[in-house]
Amino acid sequence: MGPLSREAWAQRLGAFRASPSAFLAGAGGEDLGRDLLSDLRSEKLSEQTKVSLLTLSLEYSDKLWPDAPAAEAAATSLLDTLVLLPSRPSALRRLLLLAATTALVSGSALGPTSGASCRLLPLLLGLASGRDMGRSFGTASEQRHLQATACECLGELERCKPGLLAGVLGMLRSLLGQMGPVQPVSLLLALILHNALVLQSRSGAGLHGLLVSGDFSTGSCPWDWTLAEEWDGHLRPTAGEEERGIPTLEPSPEDTRELKAAVAQLLDTSYLLTPVAQAQLLWLLSWALRGLRGQPPVLFKPQLVRLLGTAQLTLLHSVLSLKAAFGEALFTAQDEALLLRRLTLAAQHPALPTPTHLFYLHCILSFPENCPLGPEGEESAPLLLGLQPCRGLMPSLLHDPMVLLARLHLLCLLCADDEEEERGQLQGPQWFLQELLAGLQQRAALDGGPRALAALCFQASYLVTSCLTRQPTVRTSLIQGLAQLYRARPSLAPHFVDLLDKVSPELREPLREELLQEAVARPGKNEALCWHLQMLAKVAEGAQSATLSFLQAAASHCTDWGLQQALLRVCRALLRTGWGHGLAGLLQELARQLENADGRDHARLYYVLLSHLSSSKLGMALGPSLAAPALASSLMAENQGFASALMVQETSAPVQLSVGPRRAKGPRPVLHLQVRALDAPVYTLELRFHVEGQLYEPLEAVHIPCLHPGQPAHSLDLPLQPRCPAPACLHVRVLYSTTTGLTCHAHLPPLSVNFADLFLPFPQLPKGSELQFFEELWNSCLPKGVESRVWCPLGPQGLEALVSQHLEPFVVVAQPPTTYLIAVRLPPDSMLLLRLENAQVDGVPVALRTDDWAVLPLVGDYLRGLAAH
């Protein structure tokens, strides 16, 4: 088949991008990669279309060529296409280089035994070095772009195989002094230098003159697969080692001199790079120099003059990274003060976008100091950052929520350093903090206010408690403010419950007591009562008289099911904590008066448990289950909550369900199933089946008394009632009882109902009337029905064996071994007639008629797949 047109490729690529997995799984999906490589050489396609094809190969290389052999073949084909390009300028050369590199890397085909790898590496090195590679690689005007692309490809290979290109360090150093692209060569040189230092330090070897330029014109190979394999084997650093830096390396004086010269050369040309490239270069070099013993980072000092005044966020982040790496060895106290002052002033600019604002605040909060005080890892404000420089960074209710929380974090750190605040000091850090919390609480207390304002208030409260737990003044003020907030708006009870779960014990206990007092002081009705009961279920401990009085009063207002359940949850919480001895009268009253039967049963159960179990066993019975139940009394398992005992629990599948051999007989199709217990006995099984859509009538559940592991599979029949003759997927759910008396349910793997499972034979005919009967059926199909012809492959078994294996119950007239007339009933009221005549060696033509045209695709797929079974 010839190359596809531009429109056909556009349609095909659009379908692939919409769903790559579905496209590859469909018809013709496996040919996409082969067709793409073939049409790249076609002269009928425009260059723009070929660019689209190569772009697709770059984005989805792992899907087009997923394994190493396919990736190797694809890379070879791409390199051949590159060589065949005419000498005129073309946008395809760079894309072909990138595509070949991507195919080798994503397909894990890169290695010394790969022919494509051995072709690609010298080609890339030749292009990167600026050598004339011949007319096939474009004109002189293209060489600069190809050189940059080759450096990018080599960088990708070095990242995948660290140490592979350590031998080209000297060559790349010589390129920096020549006319050529500076940024790609600089980044490649820094990356290879970084990896070489890692490998040499971990292996204990030296640089051995790697930084000295070598001569590879004689055909020697500058790449080293041995180092790359050692990295993959045992030299790869762990995540923690990457953070701490490389092990200490002691290079020889000659290597030290060359290393300093290489780093200085890179830094001297770094101003020509883009900000992002400069940041990457500085990180690679600082990380490498951090492992050189006795080598102060003075090489970076000239760059600080330029970088300390930069307005680029990426470069500012690089400066902070350098400071974190070298500290006072590179930054003086004056540098530190200047940098911190610049961050503080920049963060106060009123026109900053929110992401930039958050970046500056994060830099201040995580500022790497030269001489930090306190233990490592403890949060604190920078020593040089006082209240006066930060007055413009105080949080306000007008700020964006994320900015407000970041500024509040800084304010909390300032308050932590201001523990000995002088009395009478106005507008100190704690004053700002209390004013802000009061404003947040007032906004959150507005009845019907936005939920986001309430969430922001609780986020701020949690942040304050995390930073200032040990300051009693702040803690007391926060607790009182939260209590007032709950008093004004009880509907925030879920937020309070979440906050209590997260705060430290120093705040949790006093806040719990305050909320308990607020909840029992105002019973309320309906919605307010619901929130109070939810709060009490969390904070109630001890059957205090105020709590019992509240519950007694609330019982008369709990008229609907929801309020009754909330009241019972409070009773359960008191019972679980061992303080339920005062609830006996209330539980008896609830068991008599509640209108809902479920509520009365729970109240009666709680009363029985309270009367028969000690406090310790009561807590275990009502607590969460931590182990398999072991019956400790006639009422309840000691380690199993009553909720687990009364509710249906979801578990893993306890049985294995499979489809048995098909038997075509009876008035309607039946699926023959086999069920086998897996690990433990199961009792009173109920198998429930569900078919999505309206293809089948609802299926009845199937019951099995018991199953034991090791016994033969239990056989059962599942009658099917299709509304149309179509295959389906049965979703299966099993409900059963365990040996401990628990009721459980589980989902089983779905079962497939194939098209052939619906076949039914016609009734037995009188002998001698078979042919007439078939002809009458055949003629009755038209004109309302449909006729078609299909080629049915036979395979090695032949027609007679195929019919005997798959279609024997439906044969009406047989003239073996070449002719068979077959009639099939399809539920609910259709039929399928087949004429298998004039069989040949490799297949048989099949004439078919049916009164339901919708089954034609199903019949075709079924007949074509017979030989494969």
pLDDT category of residue 373 using cuts at 50, 70 and 90: low
Q: Is the bond into 783 cis (omega within 30 degrees of 0)?
A: yes
**Quick one: average pLDDT of 8-28?**
85
Confidence tier at 733 by pLDDT (50, 70, 90): very high
For residues 849 and 863, give the distance between their C-alpha atoms in angstroms, rounded to a whole number. 14
In the prediction, which pLDDT does 639 show? 39
- 631 pLDDT band (50/70/90 cuts)? very low
Fill in the DSSP letter of residue 558: -
The span from the CA of 577 to the CA of 598, in Å, is: 23
Q: Give 496's contacts (C-beta < 8 A, 6+ positions apart).
A: 482, 486, 515, 535, 538
pLDDT band at 833, cuts 50/70/90?
Answer: very high
* 202 vs 194, more confident: 194
User: What pLDDT is attached to residue 84?
Assistant: 87
Q: Which residue has the higher pLDDT, 99 or 174?
A: 99
pLDDT reading at 30 higher than 90: no
Nearest-angstrom CA–CA distance, 710 and 717? 22
781: which 2 tokens? 């199909």
Alpha helices by DSSP H, 527-634: 527-539, 545-555, 561-576, 584-593, 597-612, 615-622
How far apart (Å, rounded) are the C-alpha atoms in residues 37 and 30?
13
Please tell me the least confidently modeled range out of 322-326, 524-528, 824-828: 524-528
| pLDDT > 80? residue 251 | no
Say what the pLDDT of residue 467 is: 86
pLDDT of residue 823: 92
pLDDT of residue 239: 39
Neighbours of 602 (CB within 10 A): 25
Confidence of residue 612 (pLDDT cuts 50, 70, 90): confident
pLDDT in tens, 179-200: 678 899 999 999 998 888 877 7
The share of the chain scoring above pLDDT 70, in percent, equals 86
pLDDT in tens, 654-706: 899 988 888 777 788 898 899 999 888 998 889 999 888 778 888 888 888 88
User: Quick one: tokens of 498?
Assistant: 């979440």
Record the pTM. Answer: 0.65
Q: Which candidate, 566, 567, 588, 583, places its Cα nearest to that of 618?
A: 583
**In angstroms, what CA-CA distances link 140 with 125, 135, 546, 852?**
17, 9, 92, 69
Of 383, 407, 378, 385, nearest to 395 by C-alpha is 407
> Dihedral of CA 595/597/600/606: which sign?
negative
pLDDT of residue 626: 45
User: What is the reported pLDDT for 234?
Assistant: 45
Are 805 and 867 within 8 A, CB to CB?
Answer: no
- Per the prediction, the chain carries an average pLDDT of 82
Count how many residues are written for the chain.
869
- Per-residue pLDDT for 627 more than 60? no
The answer to whether residue 91 scores a pLDDT higher than 60 is yes
Closest C-alpha among 415, 345, 346, 408 to residue 380 = 415
Q: What CA–CA distance (Å, rounded) separates 687 from 718?
A: 10
pLDDT at 577 over 80: no
- What CA–CA distance (Å, rounded) separates 558 from 472? 40
* pLDDT for res 218: 42
Q: How far does CA 664 lie from the centroid of its chain? A: 46
Averaged pLDDT for residues 149-163? 91
Here the tokens at position 22 are: 């579905």
Return the closest-CA partner of residue 158 out of 202, 128, 201, 113. 128
Per the CB < 8 A criterion, the answer to whether 96 and 114 are in contact is: no
> What pLDDT does residue 256 have?
78
Q: Is the pLDDT of residue 281 over 70?
A: yes
Q: Considering only CA atoms, which of 264, 284, 122 is closest in space to residue 188?
A: 284
For residue 526, give the amino acid letter: N
75: closest CA among 115, 103, 40?
103
